[in-house]
Amino acid sequence: MFPAASSDRTLAIYLSLAQYPILSAPIRKRMRRELFERGITKPAAFEAEAREKAIHTQALEGLHDPFMEEPADVWDLRLTRVREHLTDFYFGYNLPFDLFEQIVRQVLQERGAESITDQISFNPELAPQAMLFEQALAIDKLPENQRRQQMARLQEIKVVLIRTMISDQLAYVNIAKQWFTIDDLNQIRTRKIGQGKIGGKAAGMLLAYRILTEMGDDEIRNGLHMPESYFIGADLTYTFMALNGLMHWADQKYKLEEQIRAEYPKLQEEFLAGLFPADILDKFRTLLRSIGNQPLIVRSSSLLEDNFGTSFAGKYESHFCPNQGSLEENLNDFTKAIIRIYSSIMNPDALLYRRAKGLQDYDERMAILIQIVEGERYERYFLPHAAGVAFSRNMYRWSPQIRRQDGFMRLVWGLGTRAVDRVGSDYPRLVALSHPLLYPEASTKAIRRYSQQELDVIDLHENAFKTISASELMRPSYPVLRYLVEVDQGGYLTPLRIMLSEANRDKLVVTMEEMLRRTPLARRMSTMLQILEKHYLSPVDTEFTAYVLNPDTAQPDIQITILQCRPQSHLQDDDVRLPKNLREEDIIFSTPRMAPEGRIPQIRYVLFVSPECYHALPTQTARAELGQTIGRLNAALKAERFICVGPGRWGTTNPDLGVKIGYGDIYHSRSLIELTGQGIGLAPEASFGTHFFQDLVESNIFPLAIYLDDPGVIFRRDFFYELPDHLPDFLPGETHGQCIRLIKVADFRASYHLELVMDADEGLSVAFLERDR
Amino acid sequence: MSDLINAFQMAQAQFDHVAKQLNMDPQVAEILRWPSREFKFEIPVRMDDGSIRLFFGYRVQHNDVRGPAKGGIRFHPSETLDTVRALAMWMTWKCAVADIPLGGGKGGVPVDPATLSVTEKEKLCRGWVGQMWRNIGPRQDVPAPDVGTTPQMMGWMMDEYSKLVGQYTPGVITGKPVGGGGSLGRTEATGFGAIFAVREAMKHLKIDPAKSVVAIQGFGNVSQYAAIGFNKLLGGTVACVSYWDRADRAAYTVSHPKGVDPKFLQSITDQYGSIDKEQARKAGYIIEEGDAWITKEADVLLPGALEGQINAESVKRVSSRVRIVAEGANGPTTPEADEVFKRNNIFVVPDFLCNAGGVTVSYFEGVQNDMNYYWTREEVLQRLDTKMTQAFNSVLEMSEGEKVFMRDAAYMVAINRVVKAMELRGWI
């Protein structure tokens, strides 16, 4: 007998369950279990009926070939809905309503916790995220012994969530799954707008933070700050493009280079005219409202970017949003920043980089990482005390005692953009983390010359990112000035013991010295980098900001915020490793002194200054003229790839110690190699480029030294002394009586060029012949 | 100052305040907040009755980066380590503001010297040196007379030191009697020094000294020579002086309608500083209550004797004509009164600048001892003038450059110099 008014009950069940859009699934599952246990229907019969009805609904909706016409996921959805309806129907007709209410109450109380074993039937790879979280959180809540049984399940869910929400780069997932908790992932979910992954940059930042929190000691944990971050899922790129009719640009990556370049401005223009869907705009608005007037940085976080294997450094854009206008103005700036980053996926540099790296066919999408800018307000400006980039391996050693494995840092005052980008005319403080107080420069004059002159800041009044003169903020009232600058006392630098009026501003030099001396920044940064390197299974580089805590005390502390972290992937490249089985006859020179890390490929010319001839020059004037010739040759060799080899210290001011030239005389060269040892004039210590070290670093010129007396050194005299001089090819009519020789590698062996590999792991730099390809 | 229980904490607080104005490196400030060295030692003295009485001696060397520590030895019953520390720190700033190459020190013995016979005093003095001689000396630390100690005692101490080191060393102590290694001009030094500072202040404020009037509080050593200096050196009028009448146990202000003649008043002052009222009246002087001095129509107020004379109450009675307050005494102006002066734009020559003439001539005494050649009184006063003028102007420059009041500026000049010296010597 069917009870009366049962159709009312079915409706009541349906309406009641409509209140629980998420928990309705486990409730219905429990309802079906009741139906099966009470023998009202059997699972197989129920499933068969559901399929039959589903096929019927296909017909109703105008589909005639049920298996071929409908994609699998739509069919699944159809089946699920029919199954739900059928469950309500059978329950409503056969079982009392208070039993239904009892089930609902139970499920609500448990919030699904009890039903884990029932749910094993679903496939996490296909399940909705909400369900995954629900289950994972439930497992997390289980008592320890039950929880242990579910660990594999939890791990699987975690991996799926990492893969769908953060990054599907396997190398990343492999590490990330060991570190992230469900709670971390849930945090990301609640701070994410739009579907899709959050991309490489966001992924790196979160992972680094998690690793440091787990593995760091109390000092690191307490001094670590996580930037307040929000994410925009990568799938929004396509939504945006589709909505604004921009999909026709999607094939840009397959076009010719000239076309890519020519069309980019038009592409940008069209992107900038685009709009976001209203619901997304509403979410942006809510986000901006909750953030208030804090300055933001909107950063690219593409799927390929900053991840394991590719660096993409500087290929995509980041934009500061000072966020000082009205809500709608800020929203406008904010969306424009996002759109600019979207269009930067198609910028020529990025596309050509992908082409070169074999990443062209990847479905690159752009997620966005939004961070509240770290820093503090000082008058009209907003800036951090210090910022920079730090590397777990130091590739720039200017003194033998510097330990490569202790890391390296480029440190600036103000926003880190000045440390990240190489700005040419301005310099960050270079810090060897094994010896943080050791300058590359020897003299106060040079330290001053290579000091930071300008700061990147946010101008809150003008609502703009700005570069200002450092002296503008060299005021007694700037709270941490003494940690950033020193006083040039005319030949030596002293800390800022007393800061009176602004009269002495021109004597102040930004050195960051006292920050390095007084706070644990360098030591702690080094430890953090080592931890990250160990657990990333790769050397890493990071961007960070630093904040001096209690600057008015004798022992101030430092707070470090890691803004991003990525593997220094190029260090694992074979590029910088010496090839196995190098034949001795292919080696032109080889030196074990302080090998940096890098490779200079395709060297066609070697500019050689003969030590014997140089030291035999009769006058200082003759030596000075030689320097000028090198300057002219440098300009003439602009289009060629060459290195310089000469006696003693390149760039010295004393011609007895080496060739007196300035940075302007050699900047097209890729390496400066200093010969020293018996027979080379005064045989001074090599300078390793310290006369203009920072210039060399900024323009990637490698300084090397060959101590001819070192055991194992190779120096092919026949190469350097016996080949024709090509100097007249570039500077017609000039000759320096064999003092300067421009050697063409191909003269030594036709169709060959030199490769200079500096392998820090091996502690050896070798220039060897390689056949032209 | 000796009755201030937390004198040292107050000195530290004062220092912290200035350190903040100077944006001083906290690591350096911490060094300067404390004395470099402190000595505490016992001095057993066989008394006239044959008994042995135990005294304790102190010496604090606050800072000697700019030169040997310099500062007096005090015999006072309420002496404590903290008062000695505070005064030692104060000496560091005082020598620095005067730009003399000496540091800051102070010493003392908690004793009322009036309870000791002359021989007992001598034994105590020699006992003090007997314990300290290794740590004082012309290149280490140069004591001087202070509250409760006299030039005679300095003579004993110098003698004891010379015996112990085996050579005549007058430069170990200053404030010795003239003829015994003392300097001419020492008596006038503090009063005249104050007047040189007043003269510079007037120059700055464009006041004609010859047409100006000063009201002086006190008539001890400082006030007497300040009055004479104002009258004779600047050609100004001294409206009044005040003094403590021993017989009446009351203070009086002594004025004259045409201005007082300080030399005449000096001639009718007894050895305790009391002026003969009868003779004064006969000469047309008016005797009023002790605190009447502060109300006089004057351009300059020169408190020359006691602490705290210008306070929240008495400052209300200051004439609107007053434009300069020259602090001949130590700490005559309370912070509340200071605020009133700041508000009313009254120019204050702060105490440790204004009365630095004393320590400057002490320094000259040491210089003369060292070279064993003695200057005339005129030479001494000429050099004093140069030093005081330079000191005043460097403080004025700081005050104008940093837009701070003279008192803060004086500390800032002093502390800045000390820090600079520490830096140059590589202490920091």
Single residue among A153, A178, A203 that ends a domain in this structure: A178
CB B419 to CB A554 under 8 A? no
Interface of A with B in 533-552 (CB under 8 A): 552
Provide, as residue numbers in chain B, all residues whose Cβ is less than 8 Å from the Cβ of A481. 23
Which residues make Cβ contacts (< 8 Å) with residue A547, sequence separation at least 6? A225, A374, A376, A384, A385, A386, A558, A559, A560, A561
Q: Are residues A540 and A597 in the same domain?
A: no
Dig out the tokens for B140 from the structure. 């280490």
Residues A396 and A318 in one domain: no
Q: What local confidence, expressed as pLDDT, does residue A352 receive? A: 84
Q: Each residue of B35-53: pLDDT tens digit?
A: 999 999 999 999 999 999 9
CB contact under 8 A, B402 and A498: no
Total structural domains within chain A: 4
Interface of A with B in 427-486 (CB under 8 A): 476, 481-482
Domain C-terminal end among A178, A197, A213: A178
B400 touches chain A (CB under 8 A): no
User: Alpha-carbon distance A386 to A517, whole Å?
Assistant: 14
CB contact under 8 A, A498 and B22: yes
What whole-number distance in Å separates Cα of residue B296 and Cα of residue A466?
A: 61
Residue B419: in which H helix or E strand, if any? helix B406-424
Spell out which residues of chain A touch residue B419, defining contact as CB-CB under 8 Å: 497-498
Q: Are the Cβ atoms of A498 and B401 closer than 8 angstroms?
A: no
Which residues in A lie closer than 8 A to residue B420 (C-beta atoms)? 497
The pLDDT score that the predictor gives to residue A120 is: 47
Reported as a pLDDT band with limits 50, 70 and 90, residue B1 is very low
Q: Detail the DSSP E strand segments found in A211-333.
A: 224-225, 229-232, 296-302, 318-321
Instruction: Compute mean pLDDT per 10 residues along chain A, 773 residues long, and list them.
Output: 53 82 87 90 88 85 72 82 90 85 82 51 69 84 84 88 87 88 88 86 89 94 93 90 89 88 92 90 92 93 73 78 94 95 90 82 90 95 96 84 91 92 78 94 86 95 94 91 93 88 80 96 97 91 94 93 83 72 92 83 94 87 87 91 92 84 88 85 75 79 89 92 92 80 94 92 90 88
Give the one of B22, B30, B412 whose C-beta lies nearest to A554's C-beta.
Answer: B30
Domain with CATH 3.40.50.10860 in chain B: 36-171
**A554 and A409, same structural domain?**
yes
Domain B36-171, CATH number (from 3.90.70.10, 3.40.50.10860, 3.30.70.270, 3.40.190.10): 3.40.50.10860
Which range is least confidently modeled, A306-310, A584-588, B176-180, B268-272? A306-310
On whether both A688 and A604 belong to a single domain, the answer is yes
DSSP structure class, residue A479: T
Q: What are the chain A neighbours of B23 within 8 Å (beta carbons)?
A: 476, 481-482, 496, 498-500
Determine if residue A399 is left, alpha or beta; phi over 0 gives left, psi from -120 to 50 gives alpha, anything else beta.
Answer: beta
Q: Using an 8 Å CB-CB cutoff, list chain B residues near A495.
A: 25, 428
| Contact predicate B353/B395, CB 8 Å | yes
Residues of B in contact with A501 (CB under 8 A): 401-402
| Opening angle at CA A410, ends A404 and A416, nearest 5 | 145
Give the pLDDT score at A143.
86
User: CB distance B412–A500 less than 8 Å?
Assistant: yes
Across the A:B interface, residue pairs with CB atoms under 8 Å apart total 41
CA neighbours closer than 13 Å in the CB half-sphere of residue B348? 28
Nearest CB to A498; choose among B27, B30, B416 = B416
Calculate mean pLDDT across residues B48-75. Answer: 97
Fold of B186-349: Rossmann fold (3.40.50)
Q: Write the CATH number for A527.
A: 3.30.470.20
Residue with tokens 């071929």: A68
Looking at beta carbons, which residues of chain B come within 8 Å of A498?
A: 22-25, 415-416, 419
Residue in chain A closest to B397 (alpha carbons) equals: A501
B428 contact A CB<8A: yes
In the three-class reduction of DSSP (H, G, I as helix; E, B as strand; rest coil), residue B14 is classed as helix
The verdict on A388 and A475 lying in the same domain is yes
A199 within a domain of the structure (yes/no)? no
Please state the ipTM of this predicted complex: 0.81
What mean pLDDT comes out for the span B107-123? Answer: 95
The residues of B assigned a catalytic role are 106
Q: Is residue A200 part of a domain?
A: no
Domain that holds residue A556: 381-570
Please give, rounded to a whole number of angstroms, the shortest distance from the CA of B24 to a CA of chain A: 5
Residues contacting residue B58 through CB under 8 Å, at least 6 positions apart: B38, B39, B40, B79, B81, B84, B107, B108, B109
Residues A255-262: contacts with CB under 8 Å, at least 24 apart: A257/A348, A257/A352, A260/A346, A260/A348, A260/A351, A260/A352, A261/A348
Q: Which of A701-710, B318-327, B355-364 has the lowest mean pLDDT?
A: A701-710
A403 and A358 in one domain?
no
User: B90 with B74: CB under 8 angstroms?
Assistant: no
Domain boundary among A524, A549, A570: A570
Looking at residue A226, the DSSP 8-state letter turns out to be P
Closest residue in B to A492 (Cα–Cα):
B424
Q: Could you please report the per-residue DSSP string of A693-707?
A: HHHHHHTTPEEEEEE
Determine which of B16, B17, B24, B27 to mutate to test the interface with A (most A C-beta atoms within 10 Å): B27
Q: Which amino acid is at B2?
A: S
Same domain flag for A552 and A598: no
A254-263, A464-473, B137-146, B340-349 — which is least confidently predicted? Answer: A254-263
DSSP state string for A534-580: HHHTS-EEEEEEEEEESTTSSS-EEEEEEEEEEE-GGGGSGGGSPPT
Using the Cβ of B414 and the Cβ atoms of chain A, whether some distance falls under 8 Å is answered with no
Contact yes or no for B23 and A501 at CB 8 A: no
Q: Which of A500, A505, A508 to mutate to test the interface with B (most CBs of B within 10 A)?
A: A500
B397 Cβ under 8 Å from any chain A Cβ: no
Is residue A201 in a domain?
A: no
pLDDT of residue A424: 60
Domain CATH for A365: 3.30.1490.20
In a domain, A49, yes or no: yes
CA distance B428 to B419: 9
Q: Do B26 and A501 touch (CB under 8 A)?
A: no
From A514, which residue of chain B is nearest by alpha-carbon distance?
B25
Q: Which of A476, A497, A501 sits opposite B419 (nearest CB)?
A: A497
Q: Do B27 and A498 touch (CB under 8 A)?
A: no
**Closest alpha carbon within chain B to A475:** B23
Residue A353 confidence (pLDDT): 80
